[in-house]
């Protein structure tokens, strides 16, 4: 991890195409502007953590009783 000190208006460049600019600092809050290509996904940390948890839960295999229920429901179509 790289820790930097920046003032409002100063920026950080990541790679060739991501620029993070400090827009404002008020007390303990820092406002950032991120300029990156549209194909790069940018999430707030807590949202990203929720996505990771949901993906892990979705990858957990169902137990056999749930699988049997799904088979029955599929056959009724």
pLDDT in tens, 4-36: 999 999 999 999 999 999 999 999 999 999 999
Q: Is 35 left (phi over 0), alpha (psi -120 to 50) or beta?
A: beta
User: Exposed (0-12), middle (13-18) or buried (19+): which is 59, by Cβ within 10 Å?
Assistant: exposed
Residues 36 and 47 in one domain: no
Among the residue ranges 37-41, 46-50, 60-64, the one predicted with the least confidence is 60-64
Residues 61 and 75 in one domain: yes
Q: What is the mean pLDDT of residues 47-62?
A: 86
Q: d(Cα 32, Cα 6) in Å, to the nearest integer? A: 11
Number of domains into which the chain is organized: 2
Residues 28 and 8 in one domain: yes
Residues 1 and 27 in one domain: yes
Output the average pLDDT for the chain: 88
């Amino acid at each position: 991890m790289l820790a930097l000190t920046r003032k409002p208006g100063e920026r950080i460049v990541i790679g060739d195409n991501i620029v993070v600019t400090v827009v404002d600092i008020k007390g303990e809050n820092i406002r950032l502007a991120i300029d990156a290509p549209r194909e790069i996904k940018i999430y707030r940390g807590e949202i990203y953590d929720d996505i990771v948890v949901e993906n892990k839960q979705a990858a957990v295999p169902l137990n056999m009783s749930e699988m049997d229920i799904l088979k029955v429901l599929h056959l009724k179509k």
